[in-house]
Amino acid sequence: LYTAPDSCEGRCGEPLREEDECHCHPECERRGSCCEDYERLCGSDGFSSSRDSISDQELLELSEQLYGADHNKARPSDIALNPQHRADPDETGDRQDRSPQPLYRHVNEELFSKPTYASFIKLLDNYQRATGREEEVTAEELSEQDRFLEEVMKTELMKKLFAFLQGKNRYGSEQEFVQDLKEMWFGLYSRGDGERDSSGFEHVFSGEVKKGKVSGFHNWIRFYLLEKQGVVNYFSHNFDGPWDTYPDVLGLQFSWDGFYKEVGSAFIGCSPEFEFGLYTLCFLARPGRACHLSLGGHSLSVQTYPWTKATYGGGRRFIATAYVMSP
């Protein structure tokens, strides 16, 4: 189900790209760049049908559809940003706070009463940010995970994503899809010393601290709430996307309780289901590789990585990280 970068599972006939570790297009035989399992999966007797692979064009078209279906996103009047200093490449690592004011001037918190936002926010305090400390998951936290998944699956955006993946023979039913979302995003694995201390959701949306640095933490709602509490300090930005409505993309530098994030990236003003859905799509279609998308006519890429040291469900991979790439 999840395509490792060095496998042809679900990739037969996929266009050749120089950045890929190996290829699954018939042309790879002439070039000598086929993945090891190319013949087994994509040869004449192979079972990994090329029509079930996800093409670059399909990713561009589907991402535009998901962008258009983000009905819960912020309106331009809901958020006022104050980006202040734009950091040069040689400034991002020096930990200098060049922006005296907070990043968020205003956020219309009525957004947070929408069901997907409210159920998302409840998840954010379920984690210990330090890696190496085992997460204890309570029955209440498990029910909060279920509630979030239930709410996002009510949205047109996630229904579109499921319909697409079902059409690609990735899932037979919505129930199977939801169960897999729960495992890939919330399933625990160890980033530390064998303790089950991390999950894709914690890393990407809530943020972690590892070896004295902020790790993950790519969500605008989490950033806003912690900045409001005074525990996140915005330093500067190194990228501001071309979008003049939300969602937009910001590459930024900040500290969290004194721990530094040299280059973070985040969608700004999107709904939780938009980020969750887009990252899921890219993890399933292009894990470990750049996933090229289009939003409102502007191109962008999402990078995801599978966690390689543990699996679930017969060899499926957990999400290690997912983030939007700022050039």
CB atoms within 10 A of CB 196: 16
Q: What is the pLDDT along the chain (327 residues), one digit of tens a residue?
A: 456 678 888 788 888 888 888 999 888 888 889 998 888 888 765 444 556 778 899 999 999 999 999 999 999 999 999 999 999 999 999 999 999 999 999 999 999 999 999 999 999 998 887 777 788 889 999 999 999 999 999 999 999 999 999 999 889 999 999 999 999 999 999 987 778 889 999 999 999 998 899 999 999 999 999 999 999 999 999 999 999 999 999 999 999 999 999 999 999 999 999 999 999 999 999 888 889 999 999 999 999 998 988 888 877 889 999 999 966
Evaluated on CA atoms 73, 75, 78, 83, the torsion sign reads positive
Q: How far is residue 280 from each of residues 10, 128, 137, 265, measured CA to CA in Å?
A: 16, 23, 23, 17
Nearest-angstrom CA–CA distance, 232 and 290? 29
Indicate the domain borders of the chain.
Answer: 1-43, 56-325
Name the 3-class secondary structure at 313.
Answer: coil
CA 305, chain centre distance (Å): 9
Confirm or reject CATH 3.40.630.10 for domain 1-43, answering yes or no. no
Give the catalytic positions in this structure: 203, 218, 261
Q: What's the token pair of residue 244?
A: 């003049």
Which residue matches tokens 């006022």? 80
Contact assessment for residue 162 and residue 171, using Cβ atoms and an 8 Å cutoff: yes
Q: What is the pTM of this model?
A: 0.87
Nearest-angstrom CA–CA distance, 149 and 6? 31
pLDDT at 50: 57
